[in-house]
Amino acid sequence: MPDASQDHNLPLDRIDQAIIEVLRHNGRITYQKLSELVHLTPRPCLERVRKLERLGVILGYGAIVDLQQVSPGLSLLVLVALSNQSGRSAQKAFESSMRACPQVLECRLISGTFDYSLRMRCRDMEHYRVLTETWLDNPELHIDKLVAHPELATVKNPAPMPG
């Protein structure tokens, strides 16, 4: 895994920016088509994409999946506050636990009243309740408060924009 902490101000020129923008919206584009869109020949275009991958600017490629069709259930946004006495070790334990939990799709450290926001997928509210009770009962996690917001509908998907 690249160490992005080495250089927070990577020198990206306008061609790198153009490549990133095209790939954000269409990760399956051919190098031939990509090179035409960014006005390069295919070989240098491929080399730039590989450089962006090595530097950790491009982290990967994936499909946007309708989870409701694949795995019917409940999607939730969950806000988590750790106790005021919790230190960095509690944060590490919490983050490790979230990485290991298949029901947690995303975990983000945030600022404000809450410390983390989670995107979760559970079979139903009972599944969510049982799972989060095990978290609350775990003294290593130092969870002070959980607030769940079930998702009612998707208004905007992270789907690629039409080219």
Q: How do residues 62-73 score in pLDDT, each as one tens digit? A: 777 777 777 779
Phi then psi for 118, rounded to 5 degrees?
A: -120, 145
Q: Do the bridges between strand 104-109 and strand 116-122 make them parallel or antiparallel, or are there none, so unpaired?
A: antiparallel
| pTM, entire model | 0.69
Domains of the chain: 13-54 (1.10.10.10), 67-150 (3.30.70.920)
Q: How do residues 110-126 score in pLDDT, each as one tens digit? A: 999 999 999 999 999 99
Q: Shortest CA distance to 43 belongs to which of 33, 35, 51?
A: 35
3-state DSSP call for residue 116?
A: strand
Backbone CA torsion sign across 24, 29, 31, 37: negative
**Edge-to-edge strand ranges of the sheet holding 74-82:** 104-109, 116-122, 74-82, 143-150
